[in-house]
Amino acid sequence: MVKPAKPAPRKPAVKAAASEAKPAAAQPPNAQPAPASQPPAAAAGTAPSMRILGQYLKDLSFENPNAPQTLAPQQNQPDINIAVNVNAKNLAPTDFEVELHLEAKAMASGKVIFAAELLYAGLFRMENFPQNMLHPAVLIECPRMLFPFARQILADATRNGGFPPLMLDPIDFASMYQKRIQAQAPAAQA
């Protein structure tokens, strides 16, 4: 006769600290964080940290103005123009809302096949960043984190509109940032 094995004794689960257990997104954006037991200032040797407090769809528009004719098989591939823009807004000393704006317009024979516009945003907490690194981090790293989600929403919208899903190539946000800084430099000197 085989005896059933005794289950191993369970160790009590370690609970996360109260500040980590509550989702930060549940707080209103303008709410002041509770005082921390450690100073929030960028102390020497403190590593920068970036957290996503929330992400959300602010606006989505999909137009198929010439349907059902545009749904028929086309002889030529349509010309698809993509526009990308990134904006950021400071909500609190360490909190930023970053918006990723994607526009896609497909044209064939002078007619609009489809037009899609997406505004996807996220709330980010940027702590212990040196001042010279904060601006690039907000405009490069934050949209880089938002992009896969925005890309999927745009692909789903075009597929649900009756077309093959529009799968955007990865975007070089660092290059976009550099071009933006270069374009602003002459304007600042004028």
Write the pLDDT tens digit of every residue in 120-173.
Answer: 999 999 999 998 999 999 999 999 999 999 999 999 999 999 999 999 999 999
> Which percentage of the chain shows pLDDT scores above 90?
57
The amino acid occupying position 187 is A
Q: Which CATH fold topology does 48-189 show?
A: Bacterial Protein-export protein SecB (3.10.420)
What pLDDT does residue 81 have?
Answer: 96
Cα(186)–Cα(68) distance, integer angstroms: 48
Confidence of residue 36 (pLDDT cuts 50, 70, 90): very low
What pLDDT does residue 29 have?
Answer: 37
| Residue 180: strand, helix, or coil | helix
Cα(73)–Cα(100) distance, integer angstroms: 32
> Which percentage of the chain shows pLDDT scores above 70?
74
| Mean pLDDT of all residues in 90-101 | 96
Give CA separation, 62 vs 37, 57, 145, 162, in Å.
Answer: 48, 14, 23, 11
pLDDT greater at residue 137 or residue 66: 137
pTM of the model: 0.71
